[in-house]
Amino acid sequence: MTKGPAKPAGKRSPREGEGRAADPARSLALLWGSHGKPGRSGLTVRAIVSAAIEIADARGLEAVSMRHLADQLNVGTMSLYTHVPGKAELTDLMVDTVCGQLYDDVDAPSRQPGGWRESLRYIAARNWELYQGHPWLLEIVSARPVLGPNASLKYEAELRPLDGLGLTDVEMDSVLTLLLTHIEGTARVQANARRTRQESGMTDVEWWVATAPLLDKVIDAKRFPIATRVGQSAGQAYQGVSSPEHAFRFGLERILDAVSLLISERRADQV
C-alpha cells in the first residue's frame, strides 16, 4: 500500500473534499494519466491541478473550489468538471503532484552517504520541507493513501534504504509509518502554533511576558516543583511554549536509535 503524506493525527469532521474520491476508478484513471484531450479552451488537468495547488499554498485547502479555480483560469466553472469530476478527485491529484517534488528519482534517498540512518534523515528532512511548502496537506482528513504514480514512487523510494537490513516487510512498513507520523505530527504542532500567533497577534515571547505574572499568582512552585523547574527550563530554551523544530530533531534521533536496536536484534536472530 502506498504511503502518502496525508495521514491524520486525530479525528475531525471532514470538510468538503477532504476525504478520498467517491469514484475510485475515475480517480485512479486521472492519477495515472488518463486525462483525456484538452478542451476547446486548451484547459488541461495539469493546469487545473497547478492552479489548485497555488490557491491552497496561499490560502489553504478550504479556499480551493471549482468557482475559484474557474476564476483563476478564466474559464467557465462547468468546463472544469469535464476534466476533474469533483474536489475529492482534485485533492488526490494535488497530493500526488506535490509528492512528485520530493525526489529526483527513486534511488535518491538510498544514495545518501552514511547508510540507512542518513537515508532516513534525508527522507525526514524532505517530508518536513514538504509540509513547510504545502501546509494544506495537514488539512486533509483521511486514513486512506493516494494511489497515484508519484505517491507510489515516494513509497518505493522511502522503503529502499530499509531493504536488506534484516527487517521483515511489515517491520519496514512500520518503521516508515513511524517516521512519517512523527514528521506529520510535529508539522501539525508547528502549523497550529503559527495559526495561534496570527490569530492572537502575539508572539510566544509576548504571550509569556503577559501570562507569567498571572501564573505566578496561581501556581505554587512548592506544590509543583518539577513542573515549575522543567517548564521554566524548556520555556527559556525554546523562547516559547514549545519548539516544533526541536521536537522534530529530537524525536527523529530517538526513532533512529530505536530502529538501530531493532536491526541489531534481527541480525542477532539470524546468526
| Cell, residue 244 | 516544533
Q: What does the pLDDT read at residue 19?
A: 44
DSSP string for residues in 42-88: ---HHHHHHHHHHHHHHH-GGG--HHHHHHHHTS-HHHHHTT---HH
Mean pLDDT of the chain: 87
pTM of the model: 0.84
- pLDDT tens track for 174-224: 999 999 999 999 999 999 988 888 888 988 778 777 877 887 788 888 898
Sorting pLDDT into bands at 50, 70 and 90, what band is 84? very high
- The predicted structure's pLDDT at residue 265: 95
Query: If you classify domain 1-201+241-271 with CATH, what class do you get?
Result: mainly alpha
- Mean pLDDT, rounded, for 140-169: 93
Predicted confidence at residue 15, as pLDDT, reads 40
Contacts of 130 (CB under 8 A, 6+ apart): 5, 98, 99, 101, 102, 137
How does residue 35 score in pLDDT terms, banded at 50, 70 and 90? Answer: low
Radius of gyration of the chain (CA): 22
Distance, CA of 226 to CA of 76 (rounded, Å)? 62
* 31, pLDDT greater than 60: yes
Residue 254 has pLDDT above 90, yes or no: yes
Task: Report, as an integer, the average pLDDT of 143-171.
Answer: 95
pLDDT bin (cut points 50, 70, 90) of residue 25 is confident
* Mean per-residue pLDDT, 26-42: 74
Specify the range with the lowest mean pLDDT, choosing from 111-115, 228-232, 267-271: 267-271
CA separation for the pair 179, 175 (Å, rounded): 6
Residue 77 has pLDDT above 80, yes or no: yes
pLDDT at 3 over 80: no
pLDDT of residue 216: 79
- Domain-wise residue ranges, the chain: 1-201+241-271
Arithmetic mean of pLDDT, 59-65: 95
CB half-sphere exposure, 119, CA atoms < 13 A: 19
Asked if 5 contacts 184 with a C-beta cutoff of 8 angstroms, the reply is yes
